[in-house]
Amino acid sequence: MRYKTVARDLAVLNDVPEGAYIVDVISGSPADTAGLKQGDIITKFDDIRLSGENAELSKIISKKKVGDTVSLTIWRDGKEKTVKLTLGNQGE
């Protein structure tokens, strides 16, 4: 999946939460299998809120291993939802 970080100022301006805005989900990828969609905003990764010093999703993911199952809180259509995702290789 590809994403862009939504910083606090942009989040306030657009009335959305801080986090990782999903720009694209690759068909068949772990993100696709978990049900993530373009336009979702990941707000938490394993109970770590994506804001401030923890705003960069790639830094948090880099501490995990392929095959680890993580919990993501996503914001979609004004509501939060939690999904489980098993991490794959970067090319997946």
Evaluate whether residue 58 is within a structural domain: yes
Evaluate whether residue 25 is within a structural domain: yes
How many domains does the structure of the chain reveal? 1
Within a 13 Å sphere around the CA of 1, how many CA atoms are in the beta-carbon half?
28
Element (H, E) at 73: strand 69-76
As a dihedral over the C-alpha atoms of residue 47, residue 43, residue 1, residue 11, rounded to 10 degrees, the angle is: -160
Evaluate whether residue 51 is within a structural domain: yes
Contacts of 36 (CB under 8 A, 6+ apart): 1, 22, 25, 42, 72, 74, 83, 85
Evaluate whether residue 39 is within a structural domain: yes
pLDDT tens, position by position, 50-72: 988 888 898 999 999 999 999 99
Evaluate whether residue 57 is within a structural domain: yes
Evaluate whether residue 91 is within a structural domain: no
CATH at residue 27: 2.30.42.10
> What is the residue range of 50's domain?
2-86
pLDDT tens, position by position, 7-42: 999 999 999 999 999 999 999 999 999 999 999 999
Evaluate whether residue 36 is within a structural domain: yes
Q: What is the pTM of this model?
A: 0.90
Give whole-number Cα distances, 59 to 35, 39, 54, 62, 70, in Å: 22, 21, 8, 5, 14
Tokens at 30, concatenated: 């772990």
